[in-house]
Structure 1
Amino acid sequence: MIARFAACAIAFSLLGGASASAKDWTTVTIALEGAYEPWNSTKPDGTLDGFEPELAKDLCARMKVECKLIAQDWDGMMAALQAGKFDVIMDALSITPDREKVIAFSKPYANTPAGFAVTKSGALANLAGTGTTLRLDVNGEGTGAKEAIEALRKALTGKSIGIQAATVYADFIYKNFKDVATIREYKTSPEHDLDLTAGRIDAAFDDATYFTSAFAKPDNADLAMSGPEFGGLIWGAGEALGLRKADTDLKAKFDEAITAALADGTVKKLALKWFKLDVSP
Structure 2
Amino acid sequence: MTKTARALVGAALSAALLAAPAASADMTGRTIVIATEGAFPPSNMTRPNGELYGFEIDLVNEIAKRENLKIELISQAWDGMIQGLIDGKYDAIVDGVSITGARKEVVDFTHPYTTGGSTFVVMNSAGIDLPMNGTTAQLDDPVSIDPAVEAVAAVLDGKTVGVQQATIQSAFLEEYLQDKGVKVRTYPNGSDVYQDLSIGRIDAGIASLTNVAAFLEKNGDKAAATGPTFIGGIMGAGSGLAVQKGDTELQEALNAGLESIVADGTLAELSQKWFGLVVTPQQY
TM-score, normalised to structure 1's length? 0.84
Identity percentage over the alignment?
36
CA contact (8 A) 1:108 1:241 kept: yes
CA contact (8 A) 2:160 2:203 kept: yes
Q: How does 1:116-135 map to 2 (within 5 A)?
A: 116-124=120-128, 126-130=129-133, 132-134=134-136
Report the equivalent of 2:80: 76
C-alpha displacement at 1:215, in angstroms?
3.0
C-alpha displacement at 1:260, in angstroms?
1.7
State the SS of the aligned residue for 1:246.
coil
Report the equivalent of 2:185: 184
Residue 114, structure 1, aligned to residue 118, structure 2 = yes
Task: Output the CA distance in 2 between the equivalents of 1:100 and 1:234.
Answer: 12
C-alpha displacement at 1:265, in angstroms?
1.5
C-alpha displacement at 1:142, in angstroms?
6.7
Q: Output the amino acid matched with 1:173.
A: L
Q: Output the amino acid matched with 1:280.
A: T
Q: Output the amino acid matched with 1:28.
A: I
C-alpha displacement at 1:82, in angstroms?
2.6
Report the equivalent of 1:195: 196
CA contact (8 A) 1:136 1:234 kept: no
C-alpha displacement at 1:234, in angstroms?
4.9
Q: Output the amino acid matched with 1:196.
A: L
CA contact (8 A) 1:32 1:90 kept: yes
RMSD: 2.1
State the SS of the aligned residue for 1:211.
helix
Q: Output the amino acid matched with 1:82.
A: I
Task: Output the CA distance in 2 between the equivalents of 1:26 and 1:190.
Answer: 34
Report the equivalent of 1:89: 93
Report the equivalent of 1:6: none
CA contact (8 A) 1:134 1:143 kept: no
Report the equivalent of 2:138: 136
Higher relative contact order (CA 8 A, sep 6+): 2
Q: Output the amino acid matched with 1:227.
A: G
C-alpha displacement at 1:23, in angstroms?
6.9
Task: Output the CA distance in 2 between the equivalents of 1:83 and 1:177.
Answer: 32
Task: Output the CA distance in 2 between the equivalents of 1:88 and 1:114.
Answer: 24
Q: Which is richer in helix?
A: 2
Task: Output the CA distance in 2 between the equivalents of 1:229 and 1:54.
Answer: 27
Q: Output the amino acid matched with 2:80.
A: G
With over 3 angstroms needed to count, the CA separation of the structure-2 counterparts of 1:226 and 1:249, relative to structure 1, is same
C-alpha displacement at 1:46, in angstroms?
1.2
Task: Output the CA distance in 1 between the equivalents of 2:50 and 2:280.
Answer: 28
Report the equivalent of 1:36: 40
Q: Output the amino acid matched with 1:78.
A: I
